[in-house]
Amino acid sequence: MQIAPVSGALGAEITGVDLSADLSNQQAADVHAAFLRHHVLFFRGQSMSPQQQMSFTRVFGEPALYPFIQGMPDAPEVIEIVKTESDIANFGGSWHSDTAYMPEPALGTVLQALEVPDAGGDTLFANTGAAYRALSDGMRRLVDGLVGVNSSENGYGGSRARGMSRLSAMKGAFNPVAESYESEHPIVRTHPESGIKGLYVSRSHTVRFKDMTAEESKPLIEYLTSHITSPEFTCRFRWQPGSVAVWDNRVTQHFALNDYAGKRRHMRRVTIKGDRPF
Domain ranges of the chain: 2-272
- Amino acid 89: pLDDT: 82
* Helix H or strand E segment including 219: helix 214-228
CA-based Rg of the chain, rounded to a whole angstrom? 18
Residue 156 in this model has a pLDDT that exceeds 50: no
Q: Is 98 a catalytic residue?
A: yes
- Active-site hit among 39, 191, 250, 254: 254
Q: Is 38 a catalytic residue?
A: no
- Amino acid 160: pLDDT: 52
Residue 201 in this model has a pLDDT that exceeds 80: yes
Task: Report the predicted TM-score, pTM, of the whole model to 2 decimal places.
Answer: 0.92
Residue 116 in this model has a pLDDT that exceeds 90: yes
- Amino acid 167: pLDDT: 59
CATH architecture of 2-272: 4-Layer Sandwich (3.60)
Residue 227, CA atoms < 13 Å, CB-side half-sphere = 21
The phi, psi pair for 164, rounded to 5°, reads: -70, -25
Residue 1 in this model has a pLDDT that exceeds 80: yes
Residue 90 pLDDT grade (very low, low, confident, very high; cuts 50, 70, 90): confident
Q: Is 254 a catalytic residue?
A: yes
Residue 137 in this model has a pLDDT that exceeds 80: yes
Question: Can you tell me the mean pLDDT for 29-49?
Answer: 98
- Amino acid 70: pLDDT: 86
- Active-site hit among 38, 39, 87, 96: 96
The phi, psi pair for 205, rounded to 5°, reads: -120, -30
Q: Is 22 a catalytic residue?
A: no
Residue 158 in this model has a pLDDT that exceeds 50: no
- Active-site hit among 185, 208, 265, 269: 269
* Helix H or strand E segment including 255: strand 252-256
Residue 114 pLDDT grade (very low, low, confident, very high; cuts 50, 70, 90): very high
Residue 166 in this model has a pLDDT that exceeds 80: no
- Active-site hit among 98, 160, 208, 265: 98
Contact present, 65 and 76 (Cβ < 8 Å): yes
Q: In what order do the strands lie in the sheet with 182-186?
A: 182-186, 147-151, 206-209
Stretch among 64-73, 102-111, 236-245, 260-269 having the lowest mean pLDDT:
64-73
Calpha distance 144→159 (Å, rounded): 32
Residue 113 in this model has a pLDDT that exceeds 70: yes
